[in-house]
Structure 1
């Protein structure tokens, strides 16, 4: 399965979610490849920091920030259980290519009206991609969410009845994500019994339950 984290709005946590989701599946014994399709190369930087720290490689990280992604990612998927794409912000050709490559598009949003407005353009691209890939599945992921705030509850309620809907699993505003990233680690490697680690596990499990499979191109 190819899972792409995409949102044209920057700063919504695509890289953090992509890395920790890929790491969770790798920790479960799955074969995982992460594609860094963001020209900024943050996932590649994380991988290099991990190497400098002398930490073992959990999964491969490949830089592929080009609009041939939809032709190259399926080849990588033949040798992996999961390919996770850390998508680009506001690069139309790369975004379209990532959409055509993906089986599942996850759109991270924060509990803010601004994120909702920014997602409208993203949803238009999803609709466009479904002309060529009608089987493409999309879901919102509520990220950096303080669950007790009114805004978070209102956002979750709004997305529950949305098309595409939101996943039940939400990711909180956790300092552990930043602390882990600085040393090339995952939150579960710092402590696998923290709220952040449990939320990532729940996210991975919910995606697995969607049972999305690849079909012939």
Structure 2
């Protein structure tokens, strides 16, 4: 049986795609899965994070495999990796449906991070349209949520009004997410047991449930 492919996609820049991809990959690995990362973003932020991870943990201690691909090569590379890994997590570029479409097309599930602001939600529509056109299961993930913030609740209700599936787990707006990335690590490793780490583990578990559906 082939591994499952999780594509992180969002046409709007600054949504936290790379941070989400890295954290999900580490959570899935820590949960016992064999995990490969595939960076399709020409900016290469995920690759920089992975290189920092190698420097911090050693080349054999990262727990993950890493590849890059672009355009239609992403579909071929993802399928190849899925033969050897339980999970393939793909980071896609913003503002490029040509580059993102192959990674969406090949996905078992597309996770779409969205910050809880009206502008971010409006800007998500092109991504939702692209995913719908490919007919791939997808899940909106509220990222950088402010706890007890009225705006976050309003956006949550607006997402429900869209009729699009959304993860019940939200990722909070926490400094530790960005700080951990700078070391090539994740919040799961720098502050284990923290609220942020619990959120990431809960989100990974929720995504795995959707992958089984």
Which interval holds the TM-score relative to the shorter structure? over 0.9
Match of 1:128 among 124, 133, 156: 133
Task: Please give the per-residue CA displacement for 1:40-97, whole angstroms capped at 9, x wherever unaligned.
Answer: 0111101111122244211012111232212331121011110000111012211111
The correspondence of residues 104-123 of structure 1 with structure 2, limited to 5 A, is: 104-123=109-128
CA distance in 2, matches of 1:210, 1:125: 20
- Number of residues of Structure 1 aligned to a counterpart in Structure 2: 208
C-alpha separation between the residues in 1 aligned to 2:192 and 2:66? Answer: 22
What residue is the counterpart of 1:83 in the other structure? Answer: 88
1:44 aligns with 2:55: no
User: How big is the shift at 1:186?
Assistant: 1.1
Residues 11-36 of structure 1: CA deviation (Å, up to 9, x unaligned): 10000011011001111221000101
Q: Given the two structures, how large is their TM-score scaled by the length of structure 1?
A: 0.91
The 3-state SS of whatever aligns with 1:139 is: strand
Aligned-partner Cα distance in 2 for 1:189–1:116? 30
Runs of at least 5 residues in structure 1 that lack an aligned partner in the other structure: 131-135
Q: Which ranges of 4 or more aligned residues in structure 1 deviate by more than 4 Å?
A: none
**1:37-186 equivalence runs, <5 A:** 37-55=40-58, 56-130=61-135, 136-186=136-186
Q: Normalization by structure 2: what TM-score?
A: 0.93
Q: Which one is further off, 139-148 or 119-128?
A: 119-128
Alignment gaps of 5+ in structure 2: none
- CA RMSD across the alignment: 1.3
Deviations 1:148-168 (A, max 9, x none): 111101111222343322110
